[in-house]
Amino acid sequence: MFVTIASLFAIALYLAAAGALGRPLLNGRAPLTRPAMGMATLAVLAHAAVLLGMHRGALDLHFFAALSLVAWVVSSLTLLVNLSRPVAGLGVIIFPLTAILLAIDKFIAPPTAPTPIDWQIKLHVTVALLAFGVLSIAAALAILLAVQERALRRSQFGHWLRALPPLTLTEGLLFRLIHAGFTLLTLTLVTGTLFVSNVFGQHLVQKTILSIIAWLVFGALLWGRWRHGWRGTRAVNLTLFGMAVLVLAFFGTKFVLEVILHHPVV
């Protein structure tokens, strides 16, 4: 009963926070940033309680449980990044998606139990979750950057655009996040190499190859930014392409094996 109530509480708060941040889109009024982030903080705490309650306080890496966990990580990181940089507007995208994934895990997906894993694999998974979370925020920021640039080119200065951070700040933060995510993704590949012993037996070949491709894409983007000053549409496209590959790496194989073939994997 507690988990159900906490789930409904978190879902309602995530959606309310997104609504408060999305006011400029609805009626042109300024976003209610402070109340929204307060509600989102409570939602993240309730979501954490749900994850601990549903999955026995352990890392449950089954497909829908992993999606809910990743969504919680992304929402938590959004709150943390917003403490130093104005990224609250990303909550319009991130918080409703987190609410949906939490609802699916709690009310639609079949119940699952965590598979026992060694501390080395837990470390690898934790670093991977952080890498995915940071790069997910970067991808959402890239979408925001593309929308801002498109609106400015068309001279569409609506209330919603004025509520967003300046374009240069958005772009600078985008590359800082990509740099941090690239570093974490590098550590993910290193710890995977050190700690994962049976790549073929654990169905990790596709995940490893796709992760390396994503690593190369983000690395090329950072190199191009440093060497040639890449920005704008090129930066947005490469960020979204790299993130799409990373989503396939993290969840593509799991979806096919668990949801379609009903063969659970870690």
Tens digit of each residue's pLDDT (9 = 90 or more) over 28-78: 566 677 889 999 999 999 999 999 888 776 777 788 888 999 999 999 999
Taking residue 12's Cβ as centre, other Cβ atoms within 10 Å add up to: 14
Global pTM reads: 0.86
Burial of 85 (0-12, 13-18, 19+ CB in 10 A): middle
Residues 251-265: pLDDT tens digits? 877 777 666 666 655
Q: Hey, what amino acid is at 85?
A: R
Task: Kindly state the DSSP code that residue 116 receives in the 8-state scheme.
Answer: P
CB atoms within 10 A of CB 142: 23
Task: Compute the distance between CA of residue 238 and CA of residue 133 in angstroms, rounded to an integer.
Answer: 17
Return the pLDDT at 45. 96
194-244 residue pLDDT tens: 876 655 445 567 888 899 999 999 999 999 998 888 888 888 999 999 999
What the block records as the tokens of 151 is 């609106």
Residue 59 main-chain phi, psi, to 5 deg: -75, 110
The radius of gyration of the chain's CA atoms, rounded to the nearest angstrom, is 19
Q: What is the average pLDDT score of the chain?
A: 83
93-97 contacts, C-beta under 8 A, 24 or more apart: 93/140, 93/143, 94/136, 94/137, 94/140, 95/14, 95/15, 95/17, 95/18, 95/21, 95/40, 95/43, 96/14, 96/15, 96/18, 97/71
Nearest to 82 by CA among 132, 150, 17: 17
Q: Decide: helix, strand or coil at residue 170.
A: helix
Query: CA-based angle 183:73:1, to the nearest 5?
Result: 160
In the structure, what pLDDT confidence band is assigned to residue 131 with cuts at 50, 70 and 90? Answer: very high
With a cut of 60, say whether residue 129 has pLDDT above it: yes
**Reported confidence tier of residue 171, pLDDT bands at 50, 70, 90:** confident
User: Of 239, 244, 104, 245, whose CA–CA distance to 170 is shortest?
Assistant: 239
